[in-house]
Structure 1
Amino acid sequence: MEISGDDIAHVVLKQFDSWEKKRKPVIRTNGVKEWVPLSGIIAQADLLIRGRTGMKCLPQKSIPQAQGVVLHDWHAEVLAIRAFNRFLLEECHSLALSKKKSSEYILVREEHERTDSHFQPFALKEGIKLHMYCSEAPCGDASMELTMASQDDATPWSLPPSKDALSPEPPPTTASGQQPILHGRSYFSALGIVRRKPSRPDAPPTISKSCTDKLSLKQSTSLLSSLTSLLISPTDIYIHTLVLPSSQLSPTAVTRAFSPSGRLEPLVGNQWVGGYSFQPFRVLSTDSEFAFSRRSAEDAVPSNLASSWTPNGSETLIGGTLQGRRQFDVRGASRVCKRRMWKLALEVAVAAGVPAVERCLRMEKYGNLKGDALLDRRRVVKGDVRGVLGGWVRNEGGEGFGVEGVEV
């Protein structure tokens, strides 16, 4: 029996209600209420694996300073996925140390099940479905109709003359003839294309892709990150259902952004080497509204907090760094930052006894790790999806760090 959008939303909202007050938005001293997006991933219908709030990202100019300890993007959807990966690595680590064959969610693959192209020692247990709840429409293409409807004048803007693709007024095509990566909500007459964060025109520019685009990519690469894909088979680790409040669901927008009949139609039926395939999720609505949504008060203002919860711990972030720590200080590294995730993945590889993966994870620099041959199959999938979406400018730089200097 399939669960409903209300069922999925209830699990995430109920868990948020149990969080400590310090992890939630507040009513400011001037009486103005803060709002924040909430996202969560659940397995089946009764256990929240991850809940997350947040809505900001790191400016492009600061990427080289991040050094794997500051998050590049802490929008709620992205953080929920990163933390889901953290949870999976922790499950694998416990299994490897205990020498057991399975946990509630993860199992050890038998030797005869592994191949050169599908080599991972762990997999998601059969029959588990993953569902995602978002309190706001994902930024980018899936929210453009809502953006139009919110304008005093919903007449589509004309695209400007050709300029640099990172300018506030990007061109209709890049110099190579490809579509540009449009700024946030600018030029909402241009639909079905890749957009970058943030949506505010006065914010520092980034090349971080919208949550719509990142979720679109996950329909082919699975929910796994590069690091976890070295240890866990991507087979079946895909979003089965995306749930949005009725007020945030535009059928036209989500069909165009996510469905097999929309912009991703060329991927229908695709199956790649290594357990990857195009697995579009269904989109359901819920009548439940998050108490701290953008619609919770007429004059609500954005919160600068990003909070998270998993069965194994919680934390609060500001600026992609643990609250109370200086940005770019290694002591402020989140549990889901690249460097700490890398270190945990290495410990899993050692405990599980997979020399090829351990060799890859012992690379001196993160950039070398990302370029290793073990990730070739995943790179092919990403390249094919990006080719279909068009205008995907890679967020490069800042990959010269090592795994040292952080705790697991």
Structure 2
Amino acid sequence: MRPYDADAIASAVLAEFQKLPAKRKPCVRDNGIHEWVPLSGIVAKGPNFLRCLALATGMKCLPASKLPQARGMAVHDWHAEVLALRAFNRFVLQECRRLLAADDGEQPRPASDFLRRRADAELAAAAGGGPAGNARGHQQRQQQDEDGEEDQEERTWQRQPFAWRDDVSLHMYCSEAPCGDASMELVMAAQDDASPWALPGARAPLTATATTETAAKAPSPPLAAEPGQPRVAPGGELLGRGYFSELGVVRRKPARGDAPASVSKSCSDKLALKQCTSLLSAVASAVVSPRGVYLATLVLPASRFSAAACARCFSASSLSEWESSELLDCLPPGRMRALAGRRWGASGYAFAPVAVTTTQLEFEFSKTAVVGAGAGNEQETTTRRTGASNLAVVWTCDGLVEEGLIGGVLQGRKTFDEKGASAVSRRKMWELAVEVAGLLGNCHGHGHGDGDQSRAGDEDTGSGQTIASVLAAGTYDELKDGCPLLAARRRVKEEARAKALQGWLRNEGDGAFGLV
């Protein structure tokens, strides 16, 4: 039995896209080519509402060789799924800012359908609370900890001033199967000859950063898997959509053979990792607890769904997350099985497998719909030309973000120009997090009341000051790799990549910028 209505989730996203102006949608070009584009959206299900919080379209990414020029202003990956996640994080931070800016110390305090302010008692009880809860004290305690990994997890800083509401679940709709492992059976089925490609000889391992055009090109034979572990590509090499018989491996974004190389991981791999790290980005997780910010459902069109591929890609087993009992014997074991039941102390991080389900609804600008639009007209069917749209769109439900992007920057702006930075770019997201932390440091309240009506007092203000001091890092790399407040998140990512997503190659080269 399906826990949620897949058609309703899909409809919530499709309805919001339909409201967008024509300039945000694919078109028919002057040369007669009909454009198509993938669409993704994040939907919240509350006690009395079902609302699309963020949506995006897009299907391209920035070449690895261009990353050093981005300086936090160009989005690296604007595939619809990834862009929708960035838009969701933008919405979350905007909601934090709205609540703080409207809190003048008077009752009743500003409310949100999605977030709640954590009370003083909850913050004080969190690991790292009290005098040792500041960034420096926490870092010293970690360095002095000799009690093992479990104790470190329990003592990790977890005093984010906001938390996701327990009665609100999160869902995602995608008009196409995510690129990478969750769609490899579809790629095989689309081939004139689905015979496995011959694998080339082994190559030397890649360098650590792999930011050149040669970094992610030719694949190598997979290593034999350890018992109970997924197969991996040797040397950390990333495949695109080629060598489709290699299943369960981390892949990069697919592209034409003559396209500049990218080390951006496939949407399948990024969504699989989000089952561990939550939907929150690094900067958002400094302000909002990850507890409960996980996808409950991923909705795909029935025409773009492979049960075997999704079970292998996302699940920890082939038994518990899949609704068709007749498929249980033939579904492969999930590549995330090494993390089954894993919880990282009291940090709020846990492996939360997503349930993948289907809808019969089709997005009007999907490739399936656009290509098949002339199916009833024989002349149209044989002459219609289609092409992928270069336009990506980002939207949030609060009305604060509605953007068109080309090449990872705002449509009509010069590439890598500061005025072209999207609201979901690294730079703009970091700036917003700093603004939120500043408001926290100056918040009103005296820590009285009960439940959601309790006022933010000393604990909340202290957390804001700690967050603000850490977000004032000199560079983005320093923020993500050295911030003690993000230590728990880094530990989760490292374990997920080591145990389930082997071969993950970091997309480096755009972290040396600062906000000053």
Q: TM-score, normalised by structure 1?
A: 0.95
CA shift, 1:202, in A, is 1.9
Please tell me whether the aligned partners of residues 216 and 237 of structure 2 are also in contact (alpha carbons under 8 angstroms). Answer: no
Aligned to 1:257: 313
Cα distance change on mapping 1:182 and 1:109 into 2, 3 Å: same
Residue 512 of structure 2: which of 392, 396, 400 is its match?
Answer: 400
Cα RMSD of the aligned pairs, angstroms, is 1.6
Aligned to 1:221: 277
Separation in 2, partners of 1:14, 1:177: 41
Residue 92 of structure 1: which of 89, 96, 119 is its match?
Answer: 96
Residue 374 of structure 1: which of 485, 490, 495 is its match?
Answer: 485
Residue 393 of structure 2: which of 276, 288, 307 is its match?
Answer: 307
Offset from partner CA, 1:135-189 (integer Å, 9 cap, x none): 0000000000000000000111122111355353211258x98464433101001
Aligned to 2:219: 170
Please tell me whether the aligned partners of residues 142 and 253 of structure 1 are also in contact (alpha carbons under 8 angstroms). Answer: yes
Aligned to 1:54: 58
CA shift, 1:356, in A, is 1.1
Residue 119 of structure 1: which of 159, 178, 184 is its match?
Answer: 159
Residue 79 of structure 1: which of 83, 87, 102 is its match?
Answer: 83
SS at match of 1:378: helix
SS at match of 2:65: helix
CA shift, 1:313, in A, is 2.5
Offset from partner CA, 1:260-292 (integer Å, 9 cap, x none): 210000100100031100000100100011111
Residue 132 of structure 1: which of 172, 177, 184 is its match?
Answer: 172
Offset from partner CA, 1:210-265 (integer Å, 9 cap, x none): 00000000000000000000000000000110000001100000000001210000
Residue 113 of structure 2: which of 104, 110, 123 is its match?
Answer: 104
Please tell me whether the aligned partners of residues 161 and 171 of structure 1 are also in contact (alpha carbons under 8 angstroms). Answer: yes
Separation in 2, partners of 1:36, 1:168: 25
CA shift, 1:2, in A, is 3.6
Which 10-residue stretch deviates more, 317-326 or 302-311?
302-311
Please tell me whether the aligned partners of residues 218 and 238 of structure 1 are also in contact (alpha carbons under 8 angstroms). Answer: yes
Please tell me whether the aligned partners of residues 162 and 173 of structure 1 are also in contact (alpha carbons under 8 angstroms). Answer: no
Separation in 2, partners of 1:203, 1:163: 21
Separation in 2, partners of 1:120, 1:210: 30
Aligned to 2:11: 10
Which 10-residue stretch deviates more, 105-114 or 213-222?
105-114
SS at match of 2:166: coil
Are 1:319 and 2:407 matched, yes or no? yes
Please tell me whether the aligned partners of residues 169 and 186 of structure 1 are also in contact (alpha carbons under 8 angstroms). Answer: no
- Which amino acid is 2:368 matched to? R
Residue 289 of structure 1: which of 349, 362, 376 is its match?
Answer: 362
CA shift, 1:32, in A, is 1.7
SS at match of 2:116: strand
How many residues align? The count is 403
Which 10-residue stretch deviates more, 208-217 or 99-108?
99-108
Separation in 1, partners of 2:243, 2:233: 18
Are 1:280 and 2:353 matched, yes or no? yes
Are 1:358 and 2:468 matched, yes or no? yes
Aligned to 2:24: 23
Separation in 2, partners of 1:279, 1:178: 28
Q: TM-score, normalised by structure 2?
A: 0.76
Separation in 1, partners of 2:298, 2:255: 22
Which 10-residue stretch deviates more, 37-46 or 83-92?
37-46
- Which amino acid is 1:304 matched to? N
Cα distance change on mapping 1:241 and 1:181 into 2, 3 Å: farther
Please tell me whether the aligned partners of residues 146 and 250 of structure 1 are also in contact (alpha carbons under 8 angstroms). Answer: yes
CA shift, 1:101, in A, is 5.7
Matches within 5 A, 1:334-349: 334-349=422-437
SS at match of 1:52: strand
Separation in 2, partners of 1:145, 1:46: 32
Offset from partner CA, 1:191-219 (integer Å, 9 cap, x none): 00000013322211011000000000000
Separation in 1, partners of 2:474, 2:370: 50
- Which amino acid is 1:81 matched to? L
SS at match of 2:271: helix
Larger radius of gyration: 2
SS at match of 2:367: coil
Separation in 2, partners of 1:63, 1:172: 28
Which 10-residue stretch deviates more, 14-23 or 293-302?
293-302
Structure 1, unmatched stretches of 5+, are: none
